[in-house]
Structure 1
Amino acid sequence: MGKHVVVGSGQVGSHVAAKLIEQGHEVTVVTRSGSGPEGAVKVAADVADRARMVEVTKGADVLYNCVNPKYHRWLTDWPPMAESFLAAAESSGAVYVILGNLYPYGPVQGPMTEDLPLASDNPKAMVRAKMWRDALALHEAGRIRTTEVRGSDYFGPGATDQAYLGDRFLVPLRAGRTIQLPYPLDVPHSWTYLPDVADALIVAGRDERAWGRPWHVPTSDPLSFREVGDRMAAILGRPAPKLARLPWPLVQVGGLFSPMIGELRHVRYQFTAPYVLDSSAFQRTFGIAPTPIEAALKATLEA
């Protein structure tokens, strides 16, 4: 069994570390606070500290970048951390697995595939695009081995309270109250299940067929907010929930007082038109399908 270093212990990193521990691997979890699941070696470190990251990753077989700075801090936080990850990957020889996202594609027509250009002109998305291009350049130069795994909006056990299908959705659903959302209610949208994200990252780290290109996490067919609510209510044996769309001007006012709400304007396009992730390449190559949606929604409600 190999040594795996998981950096970040949030909604994805915690799943990755737990699964690796269950599989019998030696797992080191790196966070600023030194937190992590039972069975892991827990290390407190600043990811931007290159020397510290090089030290922590000595002897590692796989290095997972599961860090996620606050969205409004991407421009300042990501560049030094990205450089630190690359230095650690090159020094240790570990396969560098990046948890990516779909923002660098920008608005697209039709389902998103991995061969789409990273064409977004949003500065924050451009930071993420540069991270992948820099890693890929070192891979192509033979200095590291890397891959990036991208999913759509996350849901499932361990999802943060900022997730669209997290507490902001589940709490009123369970209480029979109206679910208030900042976006249209009936637009198809891809939702990626957190345990499937972790599985995809682990597969990408150990299978050399994954290296040198990006992949999309196995993801079920898209569902609108209303369809998700209806299916969850049916699982709970309740009537379809009430959903209401918040007026966009009201959301904009909220953004004056909350940096996170203010950032919603940058991703609004993802919810005003169909936002569909095509994960067929990963499914076909590695023989892994997404968790059936009913099972995933049930586990989400039970978490």
Structure 2
Amino acid sequence: MGLHVIVGKGPVGTTTAEELVGRGHTVRVLSRSGGTSSDSVEHRSVDAADAGALTRAAAGADVLYNAVNPAYHRWPTDWPPVAAALLTAAERTGAVLVTMGNLYGYGRPTGPMTPDTPLAATDVKGRVRNRMWADALAAHAAGRVRVAEARAADFVGPQVPAGQSHLTRQLPALRAGGRAWVVGDPDVRRSWAYLPDVAATLATLGTDERALGRAWHVPTTAPRSQREALADLAEAMGAPAVRVSGIPWPVLRAVGLAVPMMREVVAIRHQWDREYVSDGSATTAAFGLAATPWEDVVGATAAALREPA
């Protein structure tokens, strides 16, 4: 058992902290705003872009986890200094650096995405993530750091705040049996990553030497379209069947003129109009990690969303 330092206290950081505590590790969480420490998790206030501060706060760490989540439209400006600071802190402390990644780097998918799928993104956000990974791999190859990356599909589960979930932001429609308006084609199949499975993958990558020097996908169950997933969730909640429609792209483009985040969503339209499927079989084969059954994911999410009696 050792000291595991997580940078970021959002849903990924918080759930990973719980997973690591459950495995018997000492856990420290770093964030700009800090937090209230408990007997199991220490919180400290640290600027993730400050390499010196990160290094001091991560002194003695065995593993350093990048669970930072910059504002969606600020990736080009906010990610580079944070990624550089994390690499510097990992090099100075000797800690393994495990980064929470995503599927953006693959660009337009032509089939299920695996860690060996070429990183062919042409959009800004995908190129930002690919640059981060290229820099990390170069440092790893030079013997300066030891790195691994977990990549996941869209998060799902009660640990994800409703406003950050493509499914649970439809809660009003689910409860009222109304119409849910979703981004993209509601019938395109997608992978969904249950947040406890994400945390289990990150914790495993940080404690197994076989993980180093490459990326791994979080295991997921069979893909479900937004229409199917919302129907499953409504049924589990005991709610009426929900009607699902896609928001027209011209409407989203118009909204994007005033809302930067929506403008970024339009820029990755390919993630919503064609199958977006992640293959985590290599992770399962190497580490024995399996995805939580979909019915359990839906049940846990529905239980958290039901209105109080």
Which TM-score bucket, shorter chain as reference? over 0.9
Unaligned runs of 5+ in 1: none
Q: Secondary structure at the match of 1:173?
A: helix
Alpha-carbon displacement from aligned partner over 1:231-278 (angstroms, at most 9, x marks no partner): 112222344211122222111111122111111112211110111111
| TM-score normalised by the chain length of structure 2 | 0.94
Aligned to 2:227: 226
Q: 1:37 offset after TM fit, Å?
A: 6.6
Aligned to 1:60: 61
Unaligned runs of 5+ in 2: 305-309
Alpha-carbon displacement from aligned partner over 1:188-221 (angstroms, at most 9, x marks no partner): 1111111100000000000111111000001111
Alpha-carbon displacement from aligned partner over 1:131-174 (angstroms, at most 9, x marks no partner): 111111111111111100000111112213132123x2233212
Aligned to 1:260: 261
Q: Secondary structure at the match of 2:216?
A: strand
Q: 1:121 offset after TM fit, Å?
A: 1.6
User: What is the rounded CA distance, in whole Å, between the counterparts of 2:66 and 2:238 in structure 1?
Assistant: 39
Aligned to 1:213: 214
Q: Counterpart of 1:162 in structure 2: which amino acid?
A: Q
Correspondence list, 1:151-230, <5 A: 151-160=152-161, 161-166=163-168, 168-230=169-231
8 Å Cα contact 1:12-1:194 kept in structure 2: yes
8 Å Cα contact 2:153-2:193 kept in structure 1: yes
Asked if 1:138 corresponds to 2:158, the answer is no
Q: 1:253 to 1:115 in 2, by over 3 A?
A: same
Aligned to 1:27: 27
Aligned to 2:10: 10
Aligned to 2:94: 93
8 Å Cα contact 1:170-1:301 kept in structure 2: no
Q: Secondary structure at the match of 2:164?
A: coil
Q: Counterpart of 1:126 in structure 2: which amino acid?
A: R
Q: Secondary structure at the match of 2:298?
A: helix
Correspondence list, 1:249-288, <5 A: 249-288=250-289
Q: 1:36 to 1:179 in 2, by over 3 A?
A: farther
Q: Counterpart of 2:164 in structure 1: which amino acid?
A: Q
Q: 1:110 to 1:208 in 2, by over 3 A?
A: same
User: What is the rounded CA distance, in whole Å, between the counterparts of 1:234 and 1:301 in structure 2?
Assistant: 9
Aligned to 2:104: 103
Q: 1:178 offset after TM fit, Å?
A: 1.5
User: What is the rounded CA distance, in whole Å, between the counterparts of 2:52 and 2:176 in structure 1?
Assistant: 49
Alpha-carbon displacement from aligned partner over 1:67-111 (angstroms, at most 9, x marks no partner): 010111011101111110001101111110000010011002111
User: What is the rounded CA distance, in whole Å, between the counterparts of 2:94 and 2:258 in structure 1?
Assistant: 45
8 Å Cα contact 2:174-2:239 kept in structure 1: no
Count of residue pairs the alignment pairs up: 302
Percent of aligned pairs with the same amino acid = 48
Q: Counterpart of 1:295 in structure 2: which amino acid?
A: D
User: What is the rounded CA distance, in whole Å, between the counterparts of 2:226 and 2:232 in structure 1?
Assistant: 10
Aligned to 2:307: none
8 Å Cα contact 1:5-1:27 kept in structure 2: yes
**4+ aligned runs moved over 3 Å, structure 1:** none
| TM-score normalised by the chain length of structure 1 | 0.96
Q: Counterpart of 2:165 in structure 1: which amino acid?
A: A
